[in-house]
Structure 1
Amino acid sequence: MVRKDAIIRLHKQLLDRRDELKKLVSDSSEGSSGSQSSVEDSGDAAIRARRQDLESHLAEIEYNELMQIRRAIALIQEGRYGHCESCNKNIPIARLKAVPYAMFCVSCAQQRESMGLSTNAVHGDWENAYEFEGRLNDQEVRIHDLDLEK
C-alpha cells in the first residue's frame, strides 16, 4: 500500500510538471519571433544568435522531458508504471522520486549507459517506443514480425 500511495503522489507531481512544461513550450514558441534592432553590429548579432541557440536547446530539453512525462502518465494509467523496461523489476520509490519518469532501475540504467545506450526509453529504444505506441492500436505488430529485407 505504501508503494501505491507513493505512485499516486508521483502521478500528481507528473501532472503538475507536465502542465508547467506545456506552458513553457507554448510560451517559448510564442516568444521566438523577438524584436530585432535595425542597427546591429557583429557583436550584437553574435549575442543574438547565441541566445537563440541556447533558447532552442532549452526548448528541446523541455520538450523531451514533456514526452517522457507523458509516457510515464500513460504507464500509470496502464498499471505498468514503476517497472524497469529491461528487467521488469520494481524501480525503487526513491529513484522514482528523484526521476519520476525513470524507465529503468539503477543497475539496468548503468548497464545501458556503459554500453553507450540511452536510458531514455522514448527516444533511445525505438523498438520499445514502437511497441508502446502499438499497444494503443487494436492490432499489435512487433518490429521483429516485419520483414525489412525486401
Structure 2
Amino acid sequence: MSRKESLQKLRITLVRRRDALRKALAGDLSLLRELHQQKTGDPLDAAADTVQDELNSQLVEVESRELTAIEEAINKFQHGTYGDCEECGKPIPLNRLRAIPYASDCIDCRRLAERGSDDSAASVPWNRIFDMTEADVVEG
C-alpha cells in the first residue's frame, strides 16, 4: 500500500474519531450542566459531587485537546501538509501516524522539543495520559 493510500485511511480514522469526540463532549458537557443544577444533601454528598465534577471537567479538557489536534490534522489534509513534520518538514513515519494520527512532528523533533522544555506539563503526553502508570508520572 502506498503512503498516499495509508494517509487516506488515516484521514478516515481521524474523521471518525473527531465525530465520536464531538458526541462525547456534547454528552459530557450536558452532564456537567445537569450535575451543577442538582442540589446535594449532606457534606459527604457535596464532596463526592465536587470530586466527580473535577474528574469530568478534566476528562472534557483532555478530550477537547485531542479534538483540537484532530481538527488541525484534518485541516492539514486540505492544505496537502498532513504527514509532514511541522519542525523539519520531513515526512512523519507511518508507524508514528498510525499510533497518533494527529501527530504534527516526527519523533526526533518531538524529543528535541521535550528536552528543551522547562515546563514539565508540556512534556506530558496528554493523548496517552490514561495509559500512564503512577511511576511514569513521577518519573516524567
RMSD: 1.8
Matched residue, 1:9 = 9
TM-score (norm 1): 0.74
CA distance in 2, matches of 1:31, 1:54: 12
Q: Report % sequence identity.
A: 37
Shift of 1:37: 4.6
CA distance in 2, matches of 1:30, 1:44: 20
Matched residue, 2:79 = 78
CA distance in 2, matches of 1:76, 1:36: 44
Moved over 2 A (4+): 34-38
Structure 2: give runs of 5+ residues left out of the alignment.
124-140
CA distance in 2, matches of 1:58, 1:93: 28
Matched residue, 1:36 = 38
Structure 1: give runs of 5+ residues left out of the alignment.
120-150
Matched residue, 1:141 = none
Shift of 1:42: 1.8
Matched residue, 1:96 = 97
Deviations 1:84-113 (A, max 9, x none): 111000000000000000011001001101
Matched residue, 2:68 = 67
Equivalent AA in structure 2 for residue 44 of structure 1: D
Shift of 1:29: 1.5
Shift of 1:36: 3.0
CA distance in 2, matches of 1:36, 1:46: 13
Deviations 1:19-60 (A, max 9, x none): 00000111111122226355x222211111010000000001
Matched residue, 1:114 = 115
Find the residue that maps to 1:31 and give its secondary structure.
helix
Q: Which has the larger radius of gyration?
A: 1
Q: Does 1:47 align with 2:65?
A: no
Higher relative contact order (CA 8 A, sep 6+): 2
Find the residue that maps to 1:68 and give its secondary structure.
helix
TM-score (norm 2): 0.79
Matched residue, 2:126 = none
